[in-house]
Structure 1
Amino acid sequence: MEILSPFAKTVRTILSIILIIYTTLILFVVAMTLLDSFKTKTDLVTNFTGFPKVFSLDSYKAVLFDDDFLSYFRNSLILTLVGTGGCIFLSSLTAYGIARYDFKGKAFLTSYLFLGMMIPVQVSILPVFLILKNLHLLNNLLGLILVYISSISMSCLVFQKFFHTVPRALEESARLDGAGDFKIFFRIVMPVSKPVLLSMALITGVIQWNDFYMPMVLLGSRATKTLTLAIYQYVGQFAKYMSESMAAVVITLIPVIILYFLFSNQMVAGLTSGAIKE
C-alpha cells in the first residue's frame, strides 16, 4: 500500500481540486454549447445559459445544407486520416531504426527530434510556406498533408522509448528463420506495438483535426477550407451567426468525443506501456 507524506497528500489534494474545477468548467462549456446549438436565434439572445424553450434544428440545417460545411468536413477528414497515417508510419520506421541500429549521428538525430518538439510551429512557418510555394502546393490539401506527415517528433520519441522495451529475442528468432528487417518490423514489432500505435494515432489525429494555424496560412481557397476555418468564419461574425457557430462547434467535436469514449483506456495503456521496463 502506498504511504504518502503529509506534504504529498496536501499536494495531491490541491491538484485533485484543481482538476475537478477544471473538468467541471469544461463540461459546463460543452453542455452550454450543445444546448445553445438547439436554440433559435431569438431564444439564444434572451436565454443564453438556459435550456431551449423549443428544440430547433435550424442551426444544423443552415450549417450542413445552406453552407458547404460537408465539403469542409471532408477536407478535414482527408487531412487527418492521410496525415495521421503517414506520420505514424514514418515515425514508427524512424524510431525503430534509431532504437535498434547504431550509426553515426544517432545522438544528433535524437536531439534533433527533441528540438522539433521545443520549437513553436510559428517559427518555422515561413520556410514551410516558401517551400510549398516553390512546389506549387499552396492552397492544396497535398501540401498540408506533407506537412502533417513530417510532424514526427513527438510520436517518434514515444515509439523509440517503447521499442527499447521490446525483447530482441523475438526479432532474433525471426531473423534465424530468414526474415528480413522489414518483415520483422511489420510482422513482429508492429503487432506488439498496437497500444502505442493506437495512442499516438489518436493524439496525432486529434491535433491535426483541431489544427487552425497551419490551414489558415497554407490553405486560402474555399475549396480547401477545413472545419476549423469554417468555425472561425462563423465566430468572426458571431453576432450574426450565433446559433450556427454553436452547431458548427458541436459537429466538429462529435468525432473527437466518440474516439475518446471508444479508445480512452487503450490510449492510457499505450502511453504508459513503455514507461516501466520489466
Structure 2
Amino acid sequence: MTQQTVSLPSSSQAQLRQGRIVRGVRSVIRHLILALLAGIWLVPIVWLVATSFSTDRGINVRRFFPAGYTLDNYANIMFHPDSVAQFPRWFVNTFVVACFTCVISTCFVLMVAYALSCCRFKGRRLLQNLSVIVNLFPGVLAMIAVYFVLKYLNLTNSYAGLIMVYAGSSGLGYLICKGFFDTTPVSLREAAKLDGASDARIFFQVVLPMSKPILVYTIISSFMIPWTDFVMAKMILNSGVSADWTVAIGLFNMLQRTLINNYFALFCAGGVLVSVPISILFIIMQKFYVAGITAGADKG
C-alpha cells in the first residue's frame, strides 16, 4: 500500500506557524517573569550570605557585596560566644523545644486526622466544622489570654510552657493529613477489622505504613513552627536572660540600634547557620514532602 500525504492549504500552514510562534513568545514571557520573580526572591538571601562573610562587623548599605571576605564571623558565633551573642546555647534551646514540639504535635495531628477520617462517631461532622471555624482566626488573637494562663500556672519563662503553646492547638491542623488518610483503601481497614484488629492496631500497622509521605510532611511542619517562631517565644521567654532565649529572639536582639554596628555580620552568619539544618532536611525529604502535600489536597 502506498502512503498518501495530505498537504494542508498554505493558509492553514501559515496559521500553524503563527500559532507556534505565539506559543513560543508566551512561553518566553512566562519564563522571563518567573526568572524575574526568582531573582527578586533570591536577592535578600544572596545579600545575607555574602554579608555573613564580610570583614565589616556592621551593616554596610553602600555596596551589595562586601569589600573583603572572612570566616571569622562563623568562627566567632559558634566558638566564641559573648554576653550578646550566645548562639550555641540558643541553638540547643531551640532544638530541644522543636524536637519535643515535633513529637507531641505529630502525635496529635495523626490521631485527630485518623479519628475524623477513618472512624465514625456521633458529632464527627460538628467537630470538623468547629475546627475549621477556629482555624479561621489567627493564633495571635489569643496571645494575651495564653500569656495570663501560663503566668497563673507559673509556666512563663519555661520551655515547658512554650512547648505546651506550640503543641496545644496542633491537632487543629489535621486537614491535609485527613485528606491523605481518606485516600487509603477502606478494604484494608475492613479486612483488618474482620480479623479482630483494634482501631489502634489498624492505625499503627495498616494506615501508618501506607502514609509515609504525609508522616514526613507532618514531622517537618511540626518542627518548623518552633524553629522559626519569634512572636510566641518572645512573649513567653521574657525574663531578659539571654542564655534562655531561642535562636529567633537572640538573632533579633542583635539588631538593636546599639548593637547592630558591631553584630550585624554575626547576625547574618547566625541566619545562615539556622537555615542549614532545615535546608538539608528539605532536600532529603523533598519527595515525600511534596507527595504528602499533593495527596493530602485531593480530599478534605
For normalisation by structure 1, the TM-score amounts to: 0.86
Q: CA RMSD in A?
A: 2.7
Is contact 2:57-2:264 (8 Å) kept?
A: no
Q: What amino acid sits opposite 2:77 in the alignment?
A: V
Q: Which residue of 2 aligns with 1:235?
A: 255
Is contact 1:113-1:157 (8 Å) kept?
A: no
Where in structure 2 are the equivalents of 1:63-102 lying within 5 Å?
A: 63-64=77-78, 65-66=80-81, 67-102=85-120
Question: Which deviates more from structure 2 when the two are superposed, residues 218-227 or residues 118-127?
Answer: 218-227
- Note the alpha carbon deviations across 1:101-152, whole angstroms, 9 max, x for none: 2333322211222233221122011121122112211111111111111232
Q: Which residue of 2 aligns with 1:247?
A: 269
Q: Which residue of 2 aligns with 1:141?
A: 159
SS in structure 1 opposite 2:296? coil
Using the aligned pairs only, state the percent identity.
28
Q: Which residue of 2 aligns with 1:39?
A: 54
Could you tell me how far 1:271 is from its partner in structure 2? Answer: 0.7
Could you tell me how far 1:215 is from its partner in structure 2? Answer: 0.1
Where in structure 2 are the equivalents of 1:192-203 lying within 5 Å?
A: 192-203=210-221
Could you tell me how far 1:10 is from its partner in structure 2? Answer: 11
Q: Which blocks of at least 5 consecutive residues in structure 1 are unaligned? A: 1-8
Q: What amino acid sits opposite 1:140 in the alignment?
A: S
Is contact 2:58-2:262 (8 Å) kept?
A: no
Note if 1:58 corresponds to 2:72. yes
Where in structure 2 are the equivalents of 1:1-278 lying within 5 Å?
A: 19-41=34-56, 45=60, 48-50=63-65, 52-53=67-68, 55-64=69-78, 65-66=80-81, 67-152=85-170, 155-221=173-239, 222=241, 223-236=243-256, 237-276=259-298
Change in Cα spacing, 1:18 to 1:104, as seen in structure 2 (3 Å) is farther
Question: Which deviates more from structure 2 when the two are superposed, residues 24-33 or residues 178-187?
Answer: 24-33
CA distance in 1, matches of 2:125, 2:192: 28
Q: Which blocks of at least 5 consecutive residues in structure 2 are unaligned? A: 1-23
CA distance in 1, matches of 2:114, 2:282: 27
Q: What amino acid sits opposite 2:177 in the alignment?
A: F
Change in Cα spacing, 1:43 to 1:245, as seen in structure 2 (3 Å) is closer
Could you tell me how far 1:93 is from its partner in structure 2? Answer: 0.5
CA distance in 2, matches of 1:11, 1:114: 40
Q: What amino acid sits opposite 2:292 in the alignment?
A: G
Q: What amino acid sits opposite 1:227 in the alignment?
A: V
Change in Cα spacing, 1:104 to 1:19, as seen in structure 2 (3 Å) is farther
CA distance in 1, matches of 2:293, 2:180: 9
- Note the alpha carbon deviations across 1:45-86, whole angstroms, 9 max, x for none: 387412552x32222233222232111101111111111221
Is contact 1:36-1:48 (8 Å) kept?
A: no
Could you tell me how far 1:12 is from its partner in structure 2? Answer: 9.0
SS in structure 1 opposite 2:268? helix
- Note the alpha carbon deviations across 1:218-269, whole angstroms, 9 max, x for none: 1123343100001101122322322111111111111122122222222111
Could you tell me how far 1:11 is from its partner in structure 2? Answer: 10
Change in Cα spacing, 1:84 to 1:239, as seen in structure 2 (3 Å) is same
How many pairs align? 269
CA distance in 2, matches of 1:43, 1:102: 60
Change in Cα spacing, 1:194 to 1:128, as seen in structure 2 (3 Å) is same
Q: What amino acid sits opposite 1:62 in the alignment?
A: N
Could you tell me how far 1:203 is from its partner in structure 2? Answer: 2.4
CA distance in 2, matches of 1:81, 1:12: 44
Q: What amino acid sits opposite 1:50 in the alignment?
A: F
